[in-house]
Homo-oligomer: A and B are copies of this chain.
Amino acid sequence: MNLILLDPKQMLSDLSYALSERQQTHIHKVIKAKSGERLRVGVLGGKIGEGIYEAETPEQPAHIHSVVLSAEPPAPLPMTLVMALPRPNMLKRTLQNITAMGVKDIYLIHSAKVEKSYWQSPVLKPESIHQCLLEGLEQAKDTTLPKLSFIPRFRPFVEDQLPALLEEKEGLLAHPYQAKPCPINLQKPCVLALGPEGGWNEFEVGKWLEAGMESVQLGERILKVETVVPVLLSRLYPA
């Protein structure tokens, strides 16, 4: 948590915000701040700046007051990430990392090699997902939540939704066969589609290519999803 991210719902008065239990614990145990200390804060969906911390007393709850918001959050990555739904034990970390890196448009999609059971995981519940995204923002000192969509049916997405998403964007399919090297420092927006462990199947690859995507590869090494995501994003948008 490199930023205390305040939800407008936490607002007590104009420049003052209540703290959630999680934030209080973090301030107390990790930052070890005392009442009166200035902390880095941000308002969800807004700017970042500073505020003064006050610990809980019998008279008042823990809160941040005198909030001054002076800076814009870091720039987003100009891309849409379409990713096969990762296995539940990878999903949290993956979403946190993607959010921390600045992706604002995320689609988690079904694919032949995604086990159906993954779609039943409690990690997919809205509160759990919201929490992952918040943690990604707090890590990166960002305030803008990504838009996250679940796509349990592959075909209607690729046939009906994808063409509109691809307008004026480069369409890149991470798929190591018959592929050109993935571009470096792309300098234009893209839609990037990233397969499950084991890759997209032949039907899926055909569908992506039909829709106008182009296959790209990263060299001979096979990397885990958790490594491939930062590798690809950093290569496309090293900023």
Interface residues of A, Cβ cutoff 8 Å to B: 2, 74, 97, 100-102, 139-142, 182, 184-185, 219-224, 226-227, 230-235, 238-239
14 A-B pairs with C-beta separation under 8 A: A74-B220, A97-B223, A100-B227, A101-B231, A102-B221, A139-B222, A139-B224, A140-B221, A182-B238, A184-B238, A219-B239, A223-B230, A227-B230, A231-B233
Q: Is the CB of A227 within 8 A of B185?
A: no
Residues of B within 8 A of A142 (CB): 221
Q: Is the CB of B184 within 8 A of A220?
A: no
Residues of B within 8 A of A235 (CB): 234-235, 238
Query: Which of B222, B232, B238 contacts A141 (CB under 8 A)?
Result: B222
Q: Is the CB of A223 within 8 A of B184?
A: no
Interface centre among A74, A182, A238, A239 (most CB of B within 10 A): A238
Chain copies in complex:
2
Q: Is the CB of A139 within 8 A of B223?
A: yes
What CA separation (Å) do A233 and B228 show in the bound complex? 12
What CA separation (Å) do A235 and B235 show in the bound complex? 6
Residues of B within 8 A of A185 (CB): 184-185
Interface centre among A185, A219, A232 (most CB of B within 10 A): A219
Q: Is the CB of B224 within 8 A of A100?
A: yes
What CA separation (Å) do A223 and B231 show in the bound complex? 13
Residues of B within 8 A of A2 (CB): 222
What's the minimum C-beta distance from A187 to chain B, rounded to whole angstroms?
A: 12
Residues of B within 8 A of A221 (CB): 74, 100-102, 140-142
Query: Given known contacts A102-B221, A139-B223, A234-B234, what 6 new A-B pairs fall within 8 Å (CB)?
Result: A97-B226, A100-B227, A140-B221, A140-B222, A219-B239, A231-B234
What's the minimum C-beta distance from A77 to chain B, rounded to whole angstroms?
A: 10
What CA separation (Å) do A234 and B184 show in the bound complex? 10
